[in-house]
Amino acid sequence: MRNMTKFRRRKRSGTIVSSSVKGWVLLLLGVCCCWVAFPPSSVDGSFSSDQPAGSNQRIDRNWAYVFLLADVDPEEPSYHGLLYNIFVSTYVLKHDPSAESHSRADIVVMVQMSPSSKEPKLREDAFLQRMGVKILYLEPIATNDTFYSLVLAKFHVLKLTEYSKILFLDADVLAFCNLDYLLELSEEGTLLKETVLHAMYDDPVNAGVFIVTPNEKYYGEVQSIIQQHGIPSKDNWDPAVGWGNKSVDYRLWDMRQGKGWNFYCADADQGLLLYWSRFVRKEVSIIVGPVIENYSPANNGAPKTVSSGALLEKSCVQRHLEKYGRTGTFAQNAGPMAASLPFYQDFFHMVGYSKAWEMPPHGPIPNSKDEVSSSAEYWYFLLQSVKDQFDSENIIPPIQEITKSIPQPRIRGDLIAVADGPEG
């Protein structure tokens, strides 16, 4: 099983690592089409049996934040850091007593257990239920390429048609405040379109945070793209063509120009999101640093660019900054400038080795937000708050012991944490 850091370097250099045919066929026919939602009980917060996930029933302005935990085995606790971050983001969105407002959206965690797991569910189901989180179990799949295949499981959100809007968050994304304003603006359709993406780092799309409008037709479109192109491999992936017969020009978050399909995960979730939204749906907003690029069929493929400054009027983080006279948050998403940009300042995507739970606290946990001086310190402060309010069973270890309680995964990814111990 390859090390994720090496995988990133190979992808950046343009050498594509193929997944097995078996894994991708299972992805297309199994994971993406066959999934399980448990009816409500005193144990979990799963979807209601009278409104099954994937049905065409929809309530207007019914929203959800959706996280994904994949390849989970309770006997291998390397997923705990991601789970704790879901606890923390849920607390920020729904429970923080100091928050200006709480989200009115559902919080949903899609869980895909490892095929090797002897347990069918998370041991932390009851904890999530106490926090008001709904749990959706996906069918496990067997594949020889865990990261490369499972990143596409996030497209399940297009099947959750009981929701009018979904904000997907990778499990290593820390929300800093109530992000409902993004769902509201996308629902209105004036400033933001039905699909909302954003550029980050050297990539035109970061698939760790995006908004979609669930629709069975849209889900079918994504699957058709995969089937028509074939399984991406070093033999059939052309960075000049990508997922279809179109080259692509784009701007990065710092306004540099880019071209082609050789960015990170262009042949996986990030490229697929970009191709589907721009060239199939043709209706998407892409937040690019200080501007929003709005694509629609009426513009013949050219974006209508507007300032992203209007997002500041909605952001509760901005009002907090103004109240305390600060110029930015701890959002080190793409560089120091991101901490003061609209939208980017509202969350921190802890990619790679920036995950808070892999950095032990440098001192006592702060007693208030005013004492926090870094994103990692803020994360630990919030986790302590979660533990104090919800953890009557001591599911979460003592905060000072978090780092050593979570084994390092062999695969470095945003969705998964599997195979404890050093690389074999």
pLDDT digits (tens, 9 = 90+) for 183-206: 999 999 999 999 999 999 889 999
CA–CA dist 354, 350 (Å, integer): 5
When mean pLDDT is compared over 7-16, 226-235, 375-384, the highest value belongs to 375-384
Q: According to the per-residue pLDDT averaged within each range, which of 32-36, 372-376, 398-402 is highest?
A: 398-402
Q: How confident is the model at residue 303 (pLDDT cuts 50, 70, 90)?
A: very high
- pLDDT confidence bin for 29, thresholds 50/70/90: very low
pLDDT range class, residue 327, cuts 50, 70, 90: low
Return the exposure string of 137-156: e unless at least 16 CB atoms fall within 10 Å of the residue's CB, then b.
bbbbbebebbbbbbbbbbbb
Q: Specify the higher pLDDT residue, 289 or 57.
A: 289
- 58 pLDDT more than 70: no
pLDDT band at 245 (very low <50, low <70, confident <90, very high): low
- Torsion over CA of 64, 67, 332 and 329, rounded to 10 degrees? 40
Cα 424 from Cα 375, distance rounded (Å): 33
CATH placement of domain 4-230+350-405 = 3.90.550
Q: Assign 73 a pLDDT band (cuts: 50, 70, 90).
A: very high
Q: How far apart are CA 268 and CA 276, in angstroms?
A: 12
In this structure, what token pair is assigned to residue 422?
Answer: 């050093």
Distance set, CA 188 to CA 192, 274, 277 (Å): 8, 22, 18
User: What does the pLDDT average to over 271-285?
Assistant: 95
What is the DSSP secondary-structure string of 58-102? --TT-EEEEEEEEEE-TTSGGGHHHHHHHHHHHIIIII-TT-S--
| Helix, strand or coil, per DSSP, at residue 303 | coil
Nearest alpha-carbon partner for 4 in 373, 360, 416:
416
- Reference 214, options 2, 324, 53; nearest CA is 53
DSSP letter for 19, please: P
The DSSP bridge pattern shows strands 257-259 and 291-295 to be unpaired
Residue 324's pLDDT band, with cuts at 50, 70 and 90, is: low
- Give the list of residues 6+ apart from residue 349 with CB closer than 8 angstroms, or none: 170, 172, 173, 174, 200, 206, 208, 209, 333, 414
Closest C-alpha to 283, from 208, 342, 213: 213
pLDDT at 413 over 70: no
What pLDDT shows up at residue 53?
Answer: 40
Query: Is-contact 21 231, C-beta < 8 A?
Result: yes
Q: What is the DSSP letter of 283?
A: -
Model confidence at 59, in pLDDT bands (50, 70, 90)?
A: very low
* DSSP conformation letters of 333-392: SSSGGGGGSTTGGGEEE--TT--GGGS--SSSPPSSGGG--SHHHHHHHHHHHHHHHH-T
Residue 283 pLDDT: 95
| Helix ranges, 231-369 (H) | 269-275, 316-324
What is the Cα–Cα distance from 163 to 157, expressed in whole angstroms? 9
What pLDDT, on the 0 to 100 scale, is given for residue 216?
96
Burial class of 362 by CB neighbour count within 10 A (0 to 12, 13 to 18, 19+): exposed
> What is the chain's mean pLDDT, rounded?
79
355, 380 contact by CB (below 8 A): no
Q: What is the pLDDT at residue 81? A: 95
Task: Tell me the average pLDDT across 18-22.
Answer: 31
Higher pLDDT: 338 or 160? It is 160
Residue type, 127: F
Phi, psi (rounded to 5 degrees) for 67 = -110, 165
CA-based angle 161:211:123, to the nearest 5?
Answer: 70
Q: Would you state the pLDDT for residue 351?
A: 84
